Structure 1
């Protein structure tokens, strides 16, 4: 129930803010077309099934934890705050690497229909697309938890922070609006952060942009969309162009 409410709350806030209210990013819509209400209903139902899969995996991990099968620890003082923060970062990096390769694998002919087709039925993504997976794909994504807690000691609170972050990032990444600043891709380090435009283009073109939090694996293995930077620039500069046009119209 907690897993479901956490996802439902963040997805609802994003949906209401971006699709019902007037918001600061209204000129930064990535695609001109809008998703239909039937898509939202389908995405919500598949999201519920995905949460059930994630919750089942969590339950199994917690049961086996009692028998010492996974590397949890209860006192932050045992490893210190530095390790606590580092562990969260490591989980994100490992998940990003895991996601890139499982994602590419699910795009092969052998696995696409059974695993990934449902998620890609949302060509114009929305906040509800974030967890709109087949049960098989949800199982693949959910396996990151037992993998991580098998590799190194993890505090339960660190895992909670990670799970909350990944939900928020997934929801915003499928929001249909770009929220990062226009100068992001000009920074030598920050340009490797995965933007909403990047993942939205993946839903449009399928064959590019497989990353989750970062674009570094796409860059290394040549799967970044060739028009990504140009598209991002157009979307993030669109607002300033519209404001300038409104000013010119007002002055005339």
Structure 2
């Protein structure tokens, strides 16, 4: 019994360390990159208001708390692996299967997040489960994991649940999960960065309009009632929850950055 508890405790410490490194890779990496490229990123700021140092400290504190909870929920995946419910593929990588698993992880996460997010905005849940994240009206990349404990649990349950479901069909490539988690935190940090990197016409293009932009999620933080999607705009458009002025708001920022970067127009 004591040996089992020790094993799980050590596993939690390891999970905490890995999740913290991943969070810092996204949050600090994006913040540092934008600061180093500030002459280019400054005109791309979405809101006039700037986050304060107190905002960043609060976002960091909540995110560290979330990382600790992610580590605890990660023990479910660890236990499921030991029980054979999650099967890890240890053989050579099949490129087709690997790519398919990665795509499934991303698309299913977007669907899961959209409906979970809609649920957290219900009056009965919002104050206890999601209001802490929305204190960041002008979010920064440090807000990537700035969740209340209830939201932290619901966010992190996706991985063990989906991996158990996928393992019922075939073993899962650990590299696919690793890349998915890296993609998740990077998109999350960029989405909360407060700076629009995409170019004019991006949101209306048939090639890129299905991807969310930083403006897409920034509008959710500033106004709250729209734009619940994570990676893709599909669910918001199908369910009528896309901000009615999303394209207009996006072009206002993208156009401003274009003018600032054109020496002829300045």
Shared topology, TM-score over 0.5? Answer: yes
2:248 matches 1:230: yes
Counterparts in 2 of 1:26-175, with a 5 A limit? 26-77=42-93, 80-152=94-166, 153-175=171-193
CA RMSD of aligned residues (A): 1.6
| Contact kept in structure 1, 2:76 and 2:160, CA below 8 Å | no
In structure 1, runs of 5+ residues without a counterpart are none
Distance 1:20 1:35 in 2: 18
Deviations 1:57-97 (A, max 9, x none): 223211221121223322244xx211111101111000000
Distance 2:223 2:211 in 1: 20
| Contact kept in structure 2, 1:71 and 1:151, CA below 8 Å | no
Shift of 1:223: 0.2
| Contact kept in structure 1, 2:196 and 2:214, CA below 8 Å | yes
The corresponding residue for 2:194 is: 176
Distance 2:174 2:151 in 1: 25
In structure 2, runs of 5+ residues without a counterpart are 1-16
TM-score (norm 2): 0.88
Distance 1:202 1:182 in 2: 20
Shift of 1:134: 0.7
Shift of 1:186: 3.0
Distance 2:36 2:131 in 1: 28
Shift of 1:234: 1.1
| Contact kept in structure 1, 2:70 and 2:156, CA below 8 Å | yes
The count of corresponding residues between Structure 1 and Structure 2 is 246
The corresponding residue for 2:4 is: none
Task: Give the secondary-structure state (helix, strand or coil) at the position aligned to 2:124.
Answer: coil
TM-score (norm 1): 0.92
The corresponding residue for 2:229 is: 211
Moved more, 22-31 or 47-56: 22-31
